[in-house]
Structure 1
Amino acid sequence: MSAPLGLAALTVLDTAPLQHVDLAERHGFDTVGFRLLPAAPGTTAYPLHEDPAALDTLVRRLADSPVEVFDLEIIRLGADFDAAAYEPLLEAGARLGAKTVLVGGDDRDRARLTDSYARLAELCARYGIVASLEFMPWTAVPDSKAAVEIVAQADGPARSILVDALHVARSATTLDDLAAIPREWLHYAQMCDGSVPAPTDDAELIRHAREERLVPGEGGIALADIWATLPADLPISIELPNEPQRRAAGTGPWLDHLVAATREVLSGPRRSVAPAGRGQLLR
């Protein structure tokens, strides 16, 4: 059974949800992800939870589509986190049939961050959605070990860790660390490639993650090794913002290329892995 492929919000962030579904249908994606809340102040998002008419229209469109909504973005866990403030987003997500919401950890107080995640996971469970905590090297959850430590403190079925290939390669995460994540905490993973050498400062790490990801197989991340460690049927979200490449090729051909390149990586042989440490998953 091949893993379902999703068209992530960030890959076509300038595309509104209805057109996002159209693109997914035309170019071989099984699922979509929508960004309802901005990743940073002033950046693009589509707050469907604040627009009942737009939400109703999208729900009707999805009823006639083979494409399903998989993930929503993004809930950030800061020092002033209030889980109840996100109920409208989760209510909208439940109407859309979303399976998971992406969670970022920004609070440097580990105890408070852990409590915030536990409270969010509990709330998500009421809506049939899991809280997928994503480790990112510049955040308060810098690697998979930190994510496991935080998620382990929450109870119930809504616990989840999101594995993003770019963050695996650019953090202290090893293949053994990935293998140690409980299978029931893995609901999807994000696919892309990245340049070599990797940036060393946070500002460039963030810029690459948001603007300069590479097509699978065209960068330096040993993607086949990562996916050989993850469950074979784990849903994949292709998160690959790269506007220069997209404009040069045209959105349609570029998305076709992303799907084909991802499938090729998934069917390819396992590659060798360098010793553990930051950047160890590079060819």
Structure 2
Amino acid sequence: MTAPLGLAALTVLDTAPLQQVDLAEKHGFDTIGIRLLPAAPGTTAYPLHEDEGALDALIRRLDDSPIEVFDLEIIRLGADFDPKSYVSLLEAGARLGAKAVLVGGDDRDRSRLTDSYARLAELCAQYGIVAGLEFMPWTAVPDAATAVEIVSQADGPARSVLVDGLHVGRSSTTLDDLAAIPRDWLHYAQMCDGSVPAPADDAELIRQAREERLVPGSGGIPLADIWSTLPAGLPVSIELPNEPLRRALGTDAWLARLVAATREVLAQVPAATGR
């Protein structure tokens, strides 16, 4: 089964959603992801949920395109999390046909974080969107096992764990941990590679994750082994920010290279996947 490919927001974060659709069409992607809220204060985002005209324009563009919106970014679960703050984002996402919203866990109070995720998942379910809790080694959800523990306390169809190849390679997550994630909690996964050995400090981990990921197959992360634990045909979002390499090649050649490299990695995954 051929996995649908998504163009993640972070890969071309300087590109507005309308132009992102153009790039996705040109380079053989099936979906796009849109960053509606910034990952960190002062960073780029496109708050379509606050701009009715821009949202309508994108919906009209998508009506004439084979490209679909798959995921939205990013809801961060902090100590002051209030799900009501994200109603307009989810309403916009439902209008766009989005399937998932990316969720980061920042609250170091595990009980409160778990409760916040459960409340968010309950809200997301009302809009037909899953709440993809992404484990990242510098956050309060550092590995797959922790993500599973948190998501298991929620109810309903919006429960979801998001696997990013970079974070698997740079956390304590094992292949057995990935295989243990309930299959119905996996809705998409993010593909990229990374240098080995991994940085030792969180600041450099974060910098590389946001600015210096590597083309699949050019780093040291065992991507084919990781994908062998995931369901066959699981949608793949290519999340690969690396502006120096992108500028050196040009955006068109860069995206063509990412698509080809991702397909090559997926072709290396043993056929008997999807446990």
**TM-score after normalising by structure 1:** 0.95
Partner in structure 2 of residue 16 of structure 1: 16
Other-structure match for 1:94: 94
The letter of the residue matching 1:63 is: D
Counterpart in 2 of 1:45? 45
1:203 is aligned to 203
Deviation for aligned residue 1:191: 0.1
Query: What secondary structure does 1:102 align onto?
Result: strand
In the other structure, the counterpart of 1:242 is 242
Aligned to 2:273: none
The alpha-carbon distance between structure 1 residues 107 and 50, as it changes in their structure 2 partners (threshold 3 A), is same
Structure 2 residue runs of 5 or longer lacking an equivalent are 271-275
CA–CA distance in structure 1, aligned partners of residues 187 and 223 of structure 2: 18
> What letter is aligned with 1:84?
K
Q: Which 5+ residue runs of structure 1 have no aligned equivalent?
A: 271-283
Which secondary structure state, in structure 2, belongs to the residue aligned with residue 217 of structure 1? coil
- 1:193-249 Cα distance to aligned partner (Å, 9 max, x none): 001111010000000100000000110001000011111110000000000000000
Per the TM alignment, residue 161 of structure 1 is displaced from its structure 2 partner at its CA by: 0.3
Q: How does 1:123-142 map to 2 (within 5 A)?
A: 123-142=123-142
Contact 2:228–2:269 (CA under 8 A) maintained in structure 1: no
What percent of counterpart residues are identical? 83
Supply the distance in 1 between the matched residues of 2:104 and 2:57 (Cα, whole angstroms).
29
Give, in whole Å, the separation in 1 of the partners of 2:196 and 2:158.
36
Match of 2:143?
A: 143
Letter in 1 for 2:166: L
Cα separation, partners in 2 of 1:118 and 1:269, compared to 1, 3 Å: closer
User: Which residue identity is paired with 2:265?
Assistant: V
Structure 2: how far apart are the matches of 1:200 and 1:25?
A: 39
3-state DSSP of counterpart to 2:133:
strand
Corresponding position of 1:279: none
State the shift of 1:123 in Å: 0.3
Number of residue pairs matched? 270
1:268 CA drift (Å)? 1.5
State the distance in 2 between where 1:119 and 1:56 align.
29
Taking the aligned partners of 1:269 and 1:89, their CA distance within structure 2 comes to 36
In structure 1, the partner of 2:57 is 57
Report what 2:30 is aligned to: 30
Q: How far 1:260 moved relative to its partner?
A: 0.3
Greater than 3 Å deviation, 4+ residue runs: none
Map of 1:105 onto structure 2: 105
Alignment match, 2:266: 266
Letter in 2 for 1:125: A
Distance 1:191 1:249 in 2: 20
Aligned to 1:190: 190
**2:163–2:188 CA contact under 8 A, matched in 1:** yes
Within-5 A mapping of 1:160-175: 160-175=160-175
The separation in 1 between residues aligned to 2:242 and 2:112, in whole angstroms, is: 35
Match of 1:78 in 2: 78
SS of residue matched to 2:228: helix
In structure 1, how many angstroms separate the alpha carbons of the residues matched to 2:205 and 2:251? Answer: 25
Question: C-alpha deviations, 1:36-58, integer Å up to 9, x for none?
Answer: 00000000000000000000000
The answer to whether the aligner puts 1:252 opposite 2:236 as a matched pair is no
In 1, Cα distance between the equivalents of 2:197 and 2:123? Answer: 40
Q: 1:269: how far off?
A: 5.4
Note if 1:153 corresponds to 2:153. Answer: yes
Contact 2:227 2:269 (8 Å CA) reproduced: no
Q: How does 1:221-236 map to 2 (within 5 A)?
A: 221-236=221-236
One-letter identity of the residue aligned with 1:116: S
CA distance in structure 2 between the aligned counterparts of 1:89 and 1:188, rounded to whole angstroms: 20
Name the aligned partner's letter for residue 41 of structure 2.
Answer: P
**TM-score normalized with structure 2 length:** 0.98
